Amino acid sequence: GMLRVAAPRVAPWGGKAVPHAHRALAATPGACHHRHHASSGRHGLRAPWLPATILVAAASASALVATCDGEAGVEPPEEEGEEDHEQSVVPGMFRDDLPTVSLEELQDHDGTGPDASVWVAYGRGVYDVTEFARGAHPGGDKILLAAGGDIAPFWDLYAVHKTGWVYEVLEELRVANLDSLGAERLAEAARARAAAAAAGGGVFANEPARSPALEVRSQRPFNAETPPGALCASFRTPSDEFYVRNHLAVPDVDPATHVLTVEGSGIASPVTFTLDDLASNFEQVDVEVTLQCGGNRRREMSRVRNVHGLDWDRAAIGNAVWRGPRLRDVLRAAGLPLDEDAVVSVQPAAAGASAEAAPAGSPAGPGRADAETSPTKRLRDLHVQMEGADTDEGGSPYGASVPAWRAVSAEQDVVLALQMNGEPMPRDHGFPLRAVVPGVVGSRSVKWLTRIRVADEESTSFWQRKDYKALGPATDWASPDLERARSIQEMPVQAAVLRPLPRGGAEAAVVDGTRPVAVEGYAWSGGGRGIARVDVSADGGATWQEAELRDESGQRDGRHWAWVLWHASVPVPAGADTTELVARAVDSSLNVQPERVGPQWSARGLLNNAWTRVPLTIRRPAASAAGRDAGAPSARAPADGSMRRA
């Protein structure tokens, strides 16, 4: 069938709508409704008809109503303003006819166990959504973000779920009650989230909505990383699950009035471009790029010695497709010669900022009018500075820079992105315009881009001159010479294990000693270098085997901007109760990750790319004879009376 969506056409950056147009989107038969006749897991429960109307969340936070053509006998829910579908059940209440489980038992069913079952909680209810998540759920695998936990915060974000028919579908999948202690722990977490949101006043009063699946590292400014399990589930990281690195409050940018000013050395006079100019007057290109925070895996470095910075684990990284004009094309339109050997006059630092900007398309020469009096440099010796709309208390914007040769090279694929993963740029990721610089530290991909300046020095912003520096272990915060330290640009080869990982604050991941360990992770290298191989060991590096690589980017070496995902099945040492899982990547230039964190410690906790390590506790049959095979008691078939009534 076809899914026809009546929707306003919107600009690529999510701007004002223009007259309506009907779009036909390919859909598989039954994509809009589904009769779930198969029994749900081990319960024998049947889900009712799902209605033919679904709400499709748009990036602008509006919603489009989609209906199926040619399907008879399916009634959609009432239109907004009419009486809701009659609610015959109240979800999440305690039920005397069901067993009771603990929060730990709920968490055991997060989709990673031996039976891959997925349970979620809502109030006091526990629900097995394993089969529903794989077939009937209109939102696809998004439901898996709540696996083993509370689904309520996701429903608070996506309020379409709060209708009678959805409650009925949920309650049909009910398998247990959550005990009072577990329910209180989830409620306390919800209260903490609400308090954090309420505290966000002043410059943080207009922050965007965020996925509750993100693992928050700071609330103000907001910084969070992707759950490791979600990170390896998709080659392209969904935009709402992509790690968030904000240095300041998220600005509220009006796309109708937003302009980009391009100025500086080699440009006769400043030129401004509207978003319409950037979307309509330049070729739009898609570039698949992995971005990584310079502090990714800082937590491991902090175990060696204290470091300054957010407590990033291993998932401050993500891969996405970014769409917009090439930076080199925009610089050329502003009058900059693209030959890196070109000699251009160097403007004083303040000259470009004080000049009146000309509109896009105005004549702009190569900026050599004052060549007799101005110093000159080759373009390759200059820098391209960028500023965002996010500002500190004193009004200074976030800024960063990259070498000019990188900005103008056709081989470096730097884009001014209007879209992320085929949708308007989310606010947290730079709406409406973001620079995306492949192969370098993520802090150089400036968000909410307002100004580009070609200069004979790096950006003078704090984040270029005093942060994101390559410090050695001999440098501490007593007397750091940050101005002289090298600014981070290209990132080193990196790999991390995403599964298995310790759970619930444990020191080690528990694995089944009767079978090989299934290991998953990512690998990436900066500078456009591809990944040659990933080595994995389950005995601390005594023996190794090569992982299978998954690369969906189709990129060639030298312009390999996207990561690879990898997996391996690794046997554990015979007879051992504990061991260490390690992995390392080798890139196409044969750079390999160092074995230990200690020798590359830095006071800012940046550039940790040591072997990724996961302690393992090996569970063997003899050690679990007193319990059930999977360790925790089952909600459906209690073997030892561990299920209890609240």
- Report the largest interatomic distance among the alpha carbons of the chain, rounded to a whole angstrom: 91
Of residues 83 and 259, the one with the higher pLDDT is 259
- Cis link prior to 571 (omega < 30° from 0)? no
| Strands of 317-324's sheet in order across | 285-292, 317-324, 419-420, 423-424
CATH number (domain holding residue 618): 2.60.40.650
Specify whether the backbone of 186 is left (phi greater than 0), alpha (psi in -120 to 50) or beta.
alpha
* Closest alpha carbon to 512 in 566, 567, 569, 565: 569
Q: Are residue 455 and residue 503 in the same domain, yes or no?
A: no
CA distance 586 to 597: 17
- Asked whether the predicted pLDDT for residue 487 surpasses 50, the reply is yes
The partner residues of 593 in beta bridges, in order of sequence, read none
* Closest alpha carbon to 118 in 628, 495, 635, 641: 635
Q: What is the pLDDT of residue 13?
A: 60
- Asked whether the predicted pLDDT for residue 39 surpasses 80, the reply is no
The partner residues of 385 in beta bridges, in order of sequence, read 401, 453
Instruction: Say which range, 293-302, 308-317, 466-475, has the weakest mean pLDDT.
Output: 466-475
- Let me know if residue 208 belongs to a domain: no
CA distance 536 to 158: 39
- Let me know if residue 311 belongs to a domain: no
| Residue 384 per-residue DSSP state | E
59's CB contacts (< 8 A; 6+ apart) are 14, 239, 423, 424, 426
Q: What is the pLDDT of residue 643?
A: 36
CB atoms within 10 A of CB 412: 23
CATH number (domain holding residue 380): 3.90.420.10
Residues 591-632 pLDDT 10s:
999 999 999 999 999 999 999 999 999 998 864 444 444 444
- Asked whether the predicted pLDDT for residue 564 surpasses 70, the reply is yes
- Asked whether the predicted pLDDT for residue 527 surpasses 50, the reply is yes
Q: Are residue 445 and residue 508 in the same domain, yes or no?
A: no
- Asked whether the predicted pLDDT for residue 43 surpasses 80, the reply is no
CATH number (domain holding residue 46): 3.10.120.10
Dihedral pair phi/psi, residue 404, rounded to 5° = -60, -35
H helix count then E strand count, the chain: 12, 34
Please identify, among 182, 216, 244, the residue that sits at the C-terminal boundary of a domain.
Answer: 182
Q: Characterize the bridge pairing of strands 564-570 and 517-524.
A: antiparallel
- Let me know if residue 480 belongs to a domain: no
Q: Are residue 17 and residue 136 in the same domain, yes or no?
A: yes
324's CB contacts (< 8 A; 6+ apart) are 12, 278, 279, 284, 285, 415, 416, 417, 418, 419, 433, 436
CA distance 13 to 64: 17
- Residue 133: pLDDT band (50, 70, 90) is confident
- Choice among 124, 161, 465, 559 that is catalytic: 161
Stated as kind and residue range, the H or E segment containing 439 is none
- Let me know if residue 393 belongs to a domain: yes
Tokens of 153: 């915060």
Burial 11-31 (b: 16+ CB within 10 A, else e): bbbbbeeeeeeeeeeeeeeeb
* Closest alpha carbon to 127 in 179, 188, 178: 178
Tokens of 347: 């403007």
Let me know if 383 is a catalytic residue: no
Average pLDDT over residues 559-568: 99
Q: Are residue 363 and residue 288 in the same domain, yes or no?
A: yes
- Asked whether the predicted pLDDT for residue 496 surpasses 50, the reply is yes
CA distance 54 to 211: 20
Q: Are residue 17 and residue 107 in the same domain, yes or no?
A: yes
Q: What is the pLDDT of residue 161?
A: 72
Average pLDDT over residues 396-410: 97
Please identify, among 167, 182, 197, the residue that sits at the C-terminal boundary of a domain.
Answer: 182
- Let me know if residue 603 belongs to a domain: no
- Let me know if residue 315 belongs to a domain: no
Tokens of 261: 């000013």
- Cis link prior to 397 (omega < 30° from 0)? no
CA distance 225 to 231: 9
Of residues 88 and 336, the one with the higher pLDDT is 336
Please identify, among 156, 182, 208, the residue that sits at the C-terminal boundary of a domain.
Answer: 182
Q: Are residue 115 and residue 64 in the same domain, yes or no?
A: yes
CB atoms within 10 A of CB 234: 14
Q: Characterize the bridge pairing of strands 419-420 and 517-524.
A: unpaired
- Let me know if residue 368 belongs to a domain: yes
Length of the chain: 646
Average pLDDT over residues 332-337: 98
With contact defined as beta carbons under 8 Å apart, do 453 and 486 qualify?
no
296's CB contacts (< 8 A; 6+ apart) are 312, 314, 315, 316, 317, 494, 608
Q: Are residue 443 and residue 559 in the same domain, yes or no?
A: no
Let me know if 468 is a catalytic residue: yes
CA distance 442 to 606: 12
- Let me know if residue 410 belongs to a domain: yes
Let me know if 22 is a catalytic residue: no
SS3 content of the chain, % helix, strand, coil (to 5): 15, 30, 55
Residue indicated by tokens 């315009």: 433
Let me know if 33 is a catalytic residue: no
With contact defined as beta carbons under 8 Å apart, do 578 and 618 qualify?
yes
- Choice among 4, 137, 503, 620 that is catalytic: 137
Tokens of 518: 């299934």
CA distance 313 to 315: 6
Average pLDDT over residues 297-307: 95
With contact defined as beta carbons under 8 Å apart, do 86 and 164 qualify?
yes
CA distance 434 to 582: 36
In the chain, how many domains are there?
A: 3
Tokens of 313: 């684990």
Q: What is the pLDDT of residue 144?
A: 82
Tokens of 85: 């579908």
Q: Are residue 502 and residue 366 in the same domain, yes or no?
A: no
Let me know if 137 is a catalytic residue: yes
Q: Are residue 58 and residue 140 in the same domain, yes or no?
A: yes
Q: Are residue 271 and residue 388 in the same domain, yes or no?
A: yes
- Residue 513: pLDDT band (50, 70, 90) is very high
Residues 239-249 pLDDT 10s:
999 999 999 99
Q: What is the pLDDT of residue 1?
A: 36
Average pLDDT over residues 48-67: 31
Average pLDDT over residues 52-68: 30
Average pLDDT over residues 23-45: 33
Q: Are residue 142 and residue 14 in the same domain, yes or no?
A: yes
Q: Are residue 265 and residue 409 in the same domain, yes or no?
A: yes
- State which residues form the domain around 335: 259-293+320-465
CA distance 179 to 101: 6
Q: What is the pLDDT of residue 482?
A: 79
Helix (H, G, I), strand (E, B) or coil at 70: coil
- Asked whether the predicted pLDDT for residue 371 surpasses 60, the reply is no
Q: What is the pLDDT of residue 140?
A: 57
